[in-house]
Structure 1
Amino acid sequence: MTHCSDNDEQSDDGAENPNKNQKKRSKGGKHVSFPPDEQIVSGFAEHRNTDRKVDSCLTLTEVMVAYQQSCSRHQVQPRAHILQQLQQGACVGGSVKCLDLKGERLDHRSCEALEVVLKSLHFDFINLQAAQLEENGASSLLDMILYYESTTHLDISDNSSMGTSCWRALAHLIKQSVRLSRLDVCNIPVVDYPAQSLSKALLTSQLRVLHLHNAQLSGMPLYTLVGALKSNKTLQELHLTNNLLNSYQDALQLGDLLRYNSTLLTLELSNNSVADAGLEELCDGLRWQTRGLKVLMLKNNQITANGMVHLAKALPALKVLQVLDLGENLLGNEGIQVIREPLMMNCSVLQLSLAQASITCEGAVALAEFLAESRQIQRLDLRQNEVKVGGLMALCLALRINRSLASLDLDYVPPSEQDELLMETQTRLQAEIIQRNASHPPLATDTSEMLPTEADGQADSTTTA
């Protein structure tokens, strides 16, 4: 059986060989109880599947009793929150929706006591966010999750005290697990050893979704991560919001990633500083995507109308990109005019977000011209823009021609014109758009992520897609 040891190279290569008669693995005072060696005869993955089948016969009540007994052996108090979840949960064939340990302080003995739960049940989601994991306990817990294949989604965010052995155990889990498909490691600095450890693990992992929000990835950490992902063939979603990604070195690396990786389907880069120069690098990479990236999120990235020049060159050639979010960037009417005709020529984009992009009636008219020509656009988000009567009129005329759009998102703006006729016209046009949205079925798309249904801080809009 492969497991994480204190020696990284020994752990990775399987060079460390413990005493064959030993039933527990010791590591700095930690232990994980494993079955007798005579039961481990058919390989690691096969054993874990057999183990799951046997333990799935246990009821949640039996698991709860076993957990209480385990806590007694380890001389810790059973966690009331854990008992409550086991008591109220629903178990189907040994699988439970969630084990929520968010905010629980899990010291070494508390983690050891959890082994009976991880051994007996499979969870769709284990939440360890802000669990104040101490070094030895955390690495033991991750070893258990790996050995028993306890979850498909693990959130270990907001645990800033994770040390070297914990990162080593996490990397081993990423590398070896056959069930773990999503990992969240947010609000933790992923620099130096953590970045190297994570990147090395991604070379052979089965992860499909990785969230690394606010992880200080700018510079060398991102370079290390991209180096691994260029050859990764399994990761489908990469979320990198709030990482201070810049317009030169970081965007260059991300453009390189798009050039060489055709497996990634979603790239989330919102709330960074990609800017116009960085968008040029991304667009250069996008041109190489003949299969792959379907969702690109660039909300709040200091992009202006000048950056739309680079996007305009790329749009006609894009074949697979389906969702593009440019919201909260200062595009203005000028930027919309730049991409109007390229959008008409594009045959892939289904959803386009231009929320809070400094668009007024002039830009809305340009978008109406695009809508009148488009045969595939399904959703257009124009919330938090100053679109008044002139723009609304153009959009309504376009909607009478367009047959593909299922949702046009606009804020409901109370009439502000002093002229009574203009106020009545604005109210009528807004009602017409609401009715048009309501008459279309919900969007059907195979993209893994949709544009947000509500702009931040904006609860009252004309539609919810």
Structure 2
Amino acid sequence: MFLDALAKARLVNELDITFDWKCDKRDLEALRDVLAKSTVSILRLDIRKLRSSFGSKLLSASIRYAALTRIIDLPNMKLIHIVQPKDYDMISSFHPKKPAHVRRLLFELGHGISGPREAGDLARALKTNSTLVTLDLRGSCLSHSGAVALAGALKINSTLTSLNLGNNSIADSGAQALAEALRSNSSLTSLYLQSNVIGDIGAQALAEVLKINITLIHMDLKTNKIELPGALALILAATINPTSISVDLMDNCLRNDRVRALWETFGPHSTASVLTLMDSSINDNGAQALAEALKTNSSLLNLNLYDNLIGSEGARALADVLKTNSTMIALGLEYNSIGSNGAQALAEALKINSTLVTLDLHNNSIGSSGALALAEALNTNSALTDLDLTHNLIAFDGAQALTDALKARSTLTTVNIHPQRA
């Protein structure tokens, strides 16, 4: 009844039809006869449930899908999008030519494979496929071995443009394999890796390849296990990439507002002057990644890292930035654990830095040796006007040295110490 109605219609230009039953080639032949008499020029055809005739497995894919070829050859067709069945012979050896009158011919494989073994079969088929453009494998239980198999196919395949591997338990090793494939792949434009378990190692591997891949324009990494080092690596890769690429990092191990702040500060065309990442579980590795990013940033004036997990190594990395940075005027490290070693590293930087005005180090387990180093730095630094060292472990000798430094210079207006009693 539907085909009879379509045959009589004269105003239908676009048709989206799903054979939601176990159809066979007779259904395709009947559809072709009707389409030949219709005004349809845009066709989306979902034949995932297409059933081969008895004994057809002995025939070549081109013969088995001859009815589909005849639909593609219809002269009124301009755009054809076919969602094909999970038939690996079809994927590997059915390569119909695009007629001159067809402006675009798209083949898609909808999600539906199950497990690494089937992913291996699909990967082998993809190595010889020349038609499939979109591959959706969400929720296919691929894990590491499935991701590796598909990565091997991507090194050879040159037609696939969109690959969705969301919700497949892909971890860092799988992401590394995909990153390696993207070094040689020149067709993929969209890669979806949402809802996996990719962490900083996988993110950094993907970031390295994003610096040189000029084809990929969208990567979805929502809802993974990426923390600050991985997020910063990806954002900085986007600034280096010669094409305009978008990377979605929402719902990872940084709050979404923190991710947005990183994009605004370090992303392409960034002009942000304030970055606040308080209470973000940033540790030494995170601080080191942040310091690496700051080496090429010239817009940030105020960095607030209040209430994180930064220790002496993270403080040392940030201190190295202060030695060369000429724009930052305020650094907030309150409620971390930089200790005296971290304070000493910052003191060495203050001997060189000439722009930082405010340094907040309260509640950082800094002892007298750290205070003495800061006091020595204040004897040569003339830019700092506000230093907060309250709630540390500074005894009388450290407090006295800071007081003497304050008396000896006219520019420092505030030093908060609250020395610890002996």
- State TM-score, norm by structure 1: 0.47
2:148 aligned partner? 280
Residues 1:276 and 1:120: Cα distance change in structure 2 (over 3 Å): same
Of 164, 168, 193, which aligns to 1:297?
164
Shift in Å, 1:396: 3.1
| Correspondence 1:398 to 2:258 | no
Distance in structure 2 (CA, Å) of the matches to 1:356 and 1:184: 32
2:183 aligned partner? 316
| Correspondence 1:182 to 2:39 | no
Please tell me whether the aligned partners of residues 172 and 201 of structure 1 are also in contact (alpha carbons under 8 angstroms): no
Shift in Å, 1:349: 0.9
Once the two structures are superposed, residues 360-389 of structure 1 have per-residue CA deviations (whole angstroms, 9 ceiling, x without a partner) of 323212212312322213322122223247
Please tell me whether the aligned partners of residues 350 and 376 of structure 1 are also in contact (alpha carbons under 8 angstroms): yes
Identity, in percent, stands at: 20
| Correspondence 1:154 to 2:2 | no
Amino acid at match of 2:149: E
SS in 1 for 2:235: helix
Shift in Å, 1:353: 0.8
Residues 1:280 and 1:347: Cα distance change in structure 2 (over 3 Å): same
Distance in structure 2 (CA, Å) of the matches to 1:172 and 1:249: 32
Corresponding residue pairs, total? 261
What are structure 2's unaligned runs of at least 5 residues? 58-62, 73-78, 271-276, 282-303, 308-422
| Correspondence 1:253 to 2:122 | yes
Once the two structures are superposed, residues 197-226 of structure 1 have per-residue CA deviations (whole angstroms, 9 ceiling, x without a partner) of 9744345541731235xx7x3xxxx22431
1:225 aligned partner? 90
Please tell me whether the aligned partners of residues 279 and 307 of structure 1 are also in contact (alpha carbons under 8 angstroms): yes
Shift in Å, 1:307: 0.9
| Correspondence 1:170 to 2:170 | no
Shift in Å, 1:322: 1.6
| Correspondence 1:118 to 2:118 | no
Residues 1:172 and 1:246: Cα distance change in structure 2 (over 3 Å): farther
Of 216, 220, 244, which aligns to 2:113?
244
Amino acid at match of 2:203: I
Shift in Å, 1:343: 1.8
Please tell me whether the aligned partners of residues 222 and 249 of structure 2 are also in contact (alpha carbons under 8 angstroms): yes
1:20-419 → structure 2 map (5 Å cutoff)? 114-115=4-5, 118-125=7-14, 153-158=15-20, 160=21, 167-171=25-29, 173=31, 177=35, 181-185=42-46, 189-193=49-53, 199-206=65-72, 208-211=80-83, 217=86, 222-230=87-95, 233=98, 236-261=105-130, 263-290=131-158, 292-388=159-255, 394-399=262-267, 402-403=268-269
Once the two structures are superposed, residues 128-154 of structure 1 have per-residue CA deviations (whole angstroms, 9 ceiling, x without a partner) of xxxxxxxxxxxxxxxxxxxxxxxxx23
Distance in structure 2 (CA, Å) of the matches to 1:320 and 1:259: 15
- State TM-score, norm by structure 2: 0.51
Please tell me whether the aligned partners of residues 23 and 49 of structure 2 are also in contact (alpha carbons under 8 angstroms): no
Distance in structure 2 (CA, Å) of the matches to 1:373 and 1:361: 18
Q: CA RMSD in A?
A: 4.0
**Greater radius of gyration (CA):** 2
Once the two structures are superposed, residues 166-205 of structure 1 have per-residue CA deviations (whole angstroms, 9 ceiling, x without a partner) of x51324535995656533437x744553997974434554
